[in-house]
Amino acid sequence: MSLIVASTTSTSTAVNSQLHRHSVGGEPQRKSYSVEDFEMGEQIGEGAYSRVVISTFKPTGKKYALKIIKKQLILKENKTKTVKMEKQVLNMMDHDNIIKLFCTFQDANHLYFALELAPGGELYSYIKNYGPFSLEASQFYTAEIVNAMEYMHTLGIIHRDLKPENIILSKDMHVKITDFGTAKIQKAEEEEVMVGDSPLKSKKGTFCGTVQYVSPEILKDEECNEGADLWALGCIIYQLLTAAHPFKADSEYLIFQKILKREFEYPPEFPYVARDLVDKLIQLDATQRLGVGSDGYKQLKAHPFFEGIDFSNLKNQTPPSIVPFANLDSLEIEDKQDEFDELNPFIVEKLNEKYSLFLLKNESVVYTRKVVKRRKLTAKKRQLILTDFPRLMYIDFDARVCKGFIPLSKSVKLVKKSDKDMIIKTPGRDYIIEDVKGCVDKWIYWIEKILAEKLTDKN
């Protein structure tokens, strides 16, 4: 079907595109989809001309990340080429480490991309919040990125904006590369195939990518091939191990100058085997970067940095723990809950270990905080724990005793009195709760979420 902007206003324009369904994940085959097929949930991302919400596909109950794009904005900002390119390359690919496109559809004002949901969050969030990765974790995540890059490049797809923000993690913490809006299809572009408003040329074009990861040839407006992604890979490895960019300066111009001169330094603790790999990726001459050429990826995977890595079996392996999580004490791990909008597997694992005495078989902690539970003239300090059973229990952790449960049902009402105070109203009684860290909004969010998900068919 044609992608048409409604013609009822003076700004309306036809956008020449075909949004064909691309089924993944065993969903039923359909001729077309509409917004009515999806139940909208919370917003998890927002860009200049789009936003992303968690949505549920009604026929199966499966959750997707639904990207909602405003037609008028993409026309105004001349982004139709970006949207078309993203759809085109996603339709070409099917790989465990690349985000999958379920379907696309539209209404009068919006375009919709239903994408695979990766609730682990951005790789960048882990670097930002927890600092450098261990060498083991850096090796594993780099290896999964390399697997995805090899697949893309075999198809002639150059990402051109690889960075930790565009690498998201699945529920079980495996890599999913996303955001292909600035991608280039190398073989097609050699023939200057139209993919948007104008041809994407193979040798000359506008600047694309992100400042800290952009390669010298892109800065110099020269021919761009898979070497641009390999340069970015070198920058990502450096960032995984240092939590910093290799090229740092006070302005974009100065960063560009450092890139063009290949001017950066390694901290003393930087592993030698990783330094050797980064040196071979961050080469000014794109043809000399490790990974370029007919057997480039064979050579790249053979580098000593990947010693012990089984590239063919990564998807079946449990990713290494990100060390900072392992080093956090119990109080810190609870404080880290609020840095993520979705359940974080590492945090959940740590909380489940801490409160295992109070959990049923296969029950998992959703949210927990120290609270003051008030009743009449008494005030008791307790650990309040919400689980996915769902149960809401209050315990004396020091005494290792469960003191009681707040019954959860559809009849429960949550009343926010302040950032620290709330009332949980149940049919039997009201529970007055003070969250000592002022996280009442988070409590309401998680309790409402778990009730909606778990008590649909219950009382």
Give, in degrees to the nearest 5, the angle at Cα 257 between 253 and 258: 120
Whole-angstrom distance, CA of residue 85 vs CA of residue 313: 30
Q: Are 202 and 189 in contact (CB under 8 A)?
A: yes
User: What are the beta bridge partners of residue 365?
Assistant: 387
Q: Are 112 and 35 in contact (CB under 8 A)?
A: yes
Whole-angstrom distance, CA of residue 192 vs CA of residue 115: 28
Phi-psi region of 269 (alpha: psi -120 to 50; beta: other; left: phi over 0): alpha
- Alpha helices by DSSP H, listed for 269-344, are 272-281, 296-301, 323-327, 330-335
Give the active site residue among 96, 107, 161, 396: 161
Of residues 406, 356, 415, the one with CA closest to residue 382: 406
Q: Which helix (H) or strand (E) holds 73?
A: helix 71-76
43-78: b (≥16 Cβ within 10 Å) or e: ebeeeebbebbbbbbeeeebbbbbbbbbbbebbeee
Distances (CA, A) of 283 to 230, 278, 280, 287: 9, 9, 6, 9
Composition of the chain by helix, strand, coil, percent to 5: 35, 25, 40
Q: Are 229 and 300 in contact (CB under 8 A)?
A: no
Q: For residue 16, what are its two tokens?
A: 């020449």
Residue 370 is labelled as binding a ligand: no
The answer to whether residue 161 is catalytic is yes
Distances (CA, A) of 243 to 135, 324, 363: 13, 12, 34
Would you tell me how many other CB atoms lie within 10 Å of the CB of residue 92? 16
CA dihedral 368, 372, 375, 376 (to 10 degrees): -160
Q: Are 99 and 118 in contact (CB under 8 A)?
A: yes
How close are the terminal C-alpha atoms of the chain, in Å? 44
**Binding site listing for ATP:** 76
* Catalytic residue ranges: 161
**Binding site listing:** 76
